[in-house]
Amino acid sequence: MRAAAAGQGRGRAVLAHADPDRTRRRLPPGLPAVIRALLAGRRWTSLRLRLIVVFGLVALTAAVSASGIAYWLNREAVLTRTQDAALRDFRQGMQTRAAALPADPQPEELQRTAELMAGASPGFSVLLVDEAKDGRKVIGTAGPAPFQLTDVPGSLQQAVNDRQKVTAANDAEYHVYWQRTQRKGTPYLVGGTRIVGGGPTGYMYKSLAQEKDDLNSLAWSLGIATALALLGSALLAQAAATTVLKPVQRLGDAARRLGEGKLDTRLDVSGTDELADLSRTFNRTAEALEKKVADMSSREESSRRFVADMSHELRTPLTALTAVTEVLEEEMDDLDPMIAPAVELVVSETRRLNVLVENLMEVTRFDAGTARLVVDDVDVADQVTACIDARAWLDAVELDAERGIVVRLDPRRLDVILANLIGNALKHGGSPVRVSVRTETGEQGDALVIAVKDNGPGIPEDVLPHVFDRFYKASASRPRSDGSGLGLSIAMENAHIHGGDITAENAPEGGALFTLRLPAPPLGEAGTR
């Protein structure tokens, strides 16, 4: 007889010519599926988080794979060892005891033989089935888990009773077959064979509950080991992230300090890895940047000092020139008509030079950071009216301003802003120039808004981005003009020192529109906040 899995294979088995140690095993079930981490919809913005997750996934995959392989190998080893031992004892019992029964055994003989076979190898039950001369089935059963023929799978019964032809490749008519099954949730190993040449058919029934418990304990142990491996990988990832990201964090902090203007920022460098090379590169870059900025600051400071000194030195001769031109202007009516135009040109150019020097002095103060506000409570309507009246622009300017709008600002600097904006509108846009004053509330709080709109053709689109640049001339063909090219720039600087701004645009109905916004909360009628 031979032992084999029912319907799946067979091996050498039980009679004198059989090898009792060779049994073929059924193919194992598939490996358990790996649980996949579902992280859909989460946006990873932290490098530390991504590093920990990657470490965890790698550790989880490795641990689950190793645990699955270990469980499968141990499962097969445990089941095969138990199965081979039980089938070997069963074959031996069938060879030594069942084969010795008479041709027509009595029920007592079958029962006694079943008890002897079950007692010789505790742990499995035995069922012996024979057919009496009158056609009745004679059954003997014994063991810790008595069972009936109905408990034996039909496929196994059919395989056991299948008489095969003896050939050179098959030297026995009957073979030992086995199959794993379950009864009431408990796994069992069922084996069966019959005696060659006539005799009872035998079945063995062995519980695999102990093996199941052992494998469950192994599965729990492997699960705990997997969880510990995952926890260990998370701690390792945290340590690795700290080791790797701390230099990156220091580099980021240093870059932020460098961006804030702290050009003496340097990193302490140790090691020879890529992060150390990056830190050295940062230090070299910061050193070069500091040197370049220092050079530029030195040249800029020299330029500012030159302009300031030049403007200061020009004031003395300009004072004398201004006095002379005033005298010449008073005597212009009595001068020779041939000389009068030259004297008029000298007077106008002297005044223009005087304005240019004053503007240069103002620009120098802004660049040096020495410009300061002298604030006071100012009635805006009165201030605008005074600016227009002082320059004799009343006939060319329309003022739309409510009385009682009082804000706290520097009246002299507001006058400079208004004079430049209105004068520029009259010079380049033409009258009438409309000046409107209002207050508005926005996200930044209350603000004073003064709009100056001219009646000209507007500002070309390519000029708009440069109207507040110093010495910018809209027309290259007219490098010389009555203006110095500094008026709007000075107006913008005075707005900035108040914390405000000036914008330039073309109005939809035509003409240029300059809007001054100062973050000065309006005061009440009595001048209190």
Supply the DSSP symbol for 383: H
Q: What is the pLDDT of residues 141-162, one digit of tens each?
A: 888 877 888 888 888 888 888 8
pLDDT of residue 421: 92
Structural tokens at position 105: 């055994």
pLDDT of residue 521: 62
Identity of the highest mean pLDDT range in 284-298, 348-362, 475-489: 284-298
Q: What is the pLDDT of residues 209-248, one digit of tens each?
A: 888 888 888 888 888 888 888 888 878 877 777 777 777 8
Instruction: Over range 39-48, report the average pLDDT.
Output: 51
CA angle 105, 109, 110 (to 5 degrees): 80
Query: For 74-83, 313-322, 390-399, which range has the lowest pLDDT when averaged over its residues?
Result: 313-322
Residue 484 binned pLDDT confidence (cut-offs 50, 70, 90) = low
pLDDT of residue 516: 93
pLDDT of residue 502: 92
C-alpha 279/C-alpha 250 separation (Å) is 9
The domain segmentation of the chain, as residue ranges, is 2-26+47-229, 297-367, 373-518
Q: What percent of the chain has pLDDT over 70?
A: 85
**What is the CATH code for 373-518?**
3.30.565.10
Backbone φ and ψ of 503, nearest 5°: -120, 150
Instruction: Over range 444-459, report the average pLDDT.
Output: 87
Residue 45: helix, strand or coil by DSSP?
A: coil
What is the distance of C-alpha 458 from the center of its chain?
48
pLDDT of residue 17: 32
* Bridge partners of residue 438, in order along the sequence: 449
Among 396, 385, 448, 391, residue whose Cα is nearest residue 420: 391
pLDDT score of 273 more than 90: no
Instruction: Over range 178-193, report the average pLDDT.
Output: 86
What is the gyration radius of the CA atoms in the chain, in angstroms? 53
Neighbour count for residue 310 (Cβ, 10 Å): 14
Among 382, 416, 429, residue whose Cα is nearest residue 516: 416
* Mean pLDDT over each residue of the chain, to the nearest integer: 78
- The b/e string for 474-490 (b: 16+ C-beta within 10 A; e otherwise) is eeeeeeeeebbbbbbbb
Supply the DSSP symbol for 457: S
Q: What is the pTM of this model?
A: 0.45
C-alpha 463/C-alpha 2 separation (Å) is 103
Q: What is the pLDDT of residues 416-439, one digit of tens each?
A: 899 989 988 888 887 789 999 988
Instruction: Over range 441-465, report the average pLDDT.
Output: 86
Contact 128, 139 (CB under 8 A): yes
- The b/e string for 60-78 (b: 16+ C-beta within 10 A; e otherwise) is beebbeebbeebeeebeeb
pLDDT of residue 483: 57
Of the two residues 36 and 494, the one the predictor is more confident about is 494
Of the two residues 116 and 35, the one the predictor is more confident about is 116
pLDDT of residue 20: 36
pLDDT of residue 385: 92
Backbone φ and ψ of 163, nearest 5°: -85, 125
476 to each of 340, 480, 488, how far by Cα in Å?
31, 9, 18
C-alpha 176/C-alpha 527 separation (Å) is 114
C-alpha 323/C-alpha 346 separation (Å) is 12
Residue 274 binned pLDDT confidence (cut-offs 50, 70, 90) = confident
Instruction: Over range 363-370, report the average pLDDT.
Output: 72
**What is the CATH code for 297-367?**
1.10.287.130
pLDDT score of 21 more than 60: no
pLDDT score of 36 more than 50: no
Q: What is the pLDDT of residues 1-18, one digit of tens each?
A: 444 444 333 333 333 333
pLDDT of residue 32: 37
Instruction: Over range 265-292, report the average pLDDT.
Output: 85
pLDDT of residue 119: 80
